[in-house]
């Protein structure tokens, strides 16, 4: 089985255009927003759009399980009770429905900020939002939910929830069903203080995940190098292998047979140093014994 590797790609034009964008970059996995990530309101997905998306994806070499949806940026599911929290919860419910319509099984969410109320409060708000969104889905839909909500580890910015594996493990303790998983962002992990610059460091992090969360919960990896230093709490993505993490981590992850079923999504910048095709080439060159 070849590695599932790709980028966050644009849906500009139409949802199904994202599949063309992914294929033109040589992706075997990809991530999208189902709507503008910087707006609260959205329109329902027209049936023609979802039908075309599903048809095109079926005809492509990319499997549905290699496609990931990222929640918009605005929601804060760890916020204290407020209009912000209510709106964030609505977006989560909408995205759960949209992923089910599009047959996309992976929905990545940010864990948000407790805004000074403390991690315990943040975690309670977050787990309530997640549990209730799923309950509401089951109550309102005849179909069974086929989407996993994937918690993405944060870089540990001020008041952020879920930068440590311990804290994410606590969040999982509050989630009532098996409809949840983990999306590991390598840049965020490094920013949060996990030294993954060498193989031992990566193995240590994987062991922590196995012991405290469960390896089978790991569903997506956001494969990003870091512009910020180890433990800097900075969320600054950089090109694969030439940031502060360096290529060892990526080489190890990409060649790890136990991770072959997991989509690796790069969210790397596009600038004078490299574009997406350069990062794809670099990542593919790290793959041993493959073409
Ligand atoms: Zn993210
Ligand atoms: Zn990030």
Give the total residue count for the chain. 291
What's the pLDDT tens digit per position in 61-90? 999 999 999 999 999 999 999 999 999 999
CATH number of 5-286: 3.20.20.150
Give residue 70's pLDDT: 98
**Which ligand is closest in space to the CA of residue 71?**
1
What's the pLDDT tens digit per position in 231-284? 999 999 999 999 999 999 999 999 999 999 999 999 999 999 999 999 999 999
For 94, other C-beta atoms within 10 Å of its C-beta total 18
Lookup: tokens for 153: 């580890």
For 184, other C-beta atoms within 10 Å of its C-beta total 25
Whole-prediction pTM value?
Answer: 0.97
- Distances in Å between the Cα of 65 and the Cα atoms of 12, 45, 61, 147, 180 are 22, 20, 12, 10, 15
* Average of per-residue pLDDT across 82-106: 98
**Which ligand is closest in space to the CA of residue 236?**
2
**Percentage of the chain with pLDDT > 70?**
99
Give residue 290's pLDDT: 52
**Which ligand is closest in space to the CA of residue 152?**
1
* Ligand 1 centre distance from Cα of residue 142 (Å): 30
What's the pLDDT tens digit per position in 148-162? 999 999 999 999 999
C-alpha to C-alpha distance for 216 and 204, rounded to whole angstroms = 16
* Ligand 2 centre distance from Cα of residue 189 (Å): 10
**Which ligand is closest in space to the CA of residue 151?**
1
């Amino acid at each position: 089985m070849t590695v599932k590797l790709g980028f966050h790609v644009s849906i500009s034009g139409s949802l199904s255009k994202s599949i063309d964008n992914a294929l033109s970059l040589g992706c075997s996995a990809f991530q999208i927003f189902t709507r503008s990530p910087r707006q609260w309101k959205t329109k329902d997905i027209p049936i023609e759009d979802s039908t075309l998306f599903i048809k095109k994806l079926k005809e492509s070499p990319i499997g549905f399980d290699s496609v990931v949806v990222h929640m918009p940026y605005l929601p804060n599911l760890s916020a204290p009770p407020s209009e912000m929290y209510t709106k964030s919860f609505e977006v989560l419910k909408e995205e759960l429905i949209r992923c089910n319509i599009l047959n996309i099984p992976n929905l990545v969410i940010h864990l948000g900020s407790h805004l000074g109320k403390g991690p315990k409060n943040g975690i309670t708000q977050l787990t309530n939002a997640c549990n209730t969104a799923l309950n509401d889905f089951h109550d309102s839909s005849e179909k069974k939910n086929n989407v996993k909500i994937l918690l993405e580890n944060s870089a540990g910015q001020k008041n952020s929830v879920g930068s440590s594996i311990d804290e994410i493990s606590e969040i999982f303790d509050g989630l009532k069903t098996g409809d949840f998983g983990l999306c590991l962002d390598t840049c965020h992990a490094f920013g949060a203080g996990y030294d993954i610059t060498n193989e031992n460091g990566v193995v240590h992090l994987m062991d922590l995940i196995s012991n405290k969360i469960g390896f089978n919960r790991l569903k997506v990896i956001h494969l990003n190098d870091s512009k910020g230093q180890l433990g800097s709490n900075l969320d600054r993505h950089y090109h694969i292998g030439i940031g502060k993490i360096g290529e060892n981590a990526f080489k190890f992850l990409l060649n790890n047979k136990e991770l072959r079923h997991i989509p690796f999504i790069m969210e790397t910048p596009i600038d004078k140093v490299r574009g997406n095709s350069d990062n794809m080439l670099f990542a593919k060159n790290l793959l041993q014994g493959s073409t």
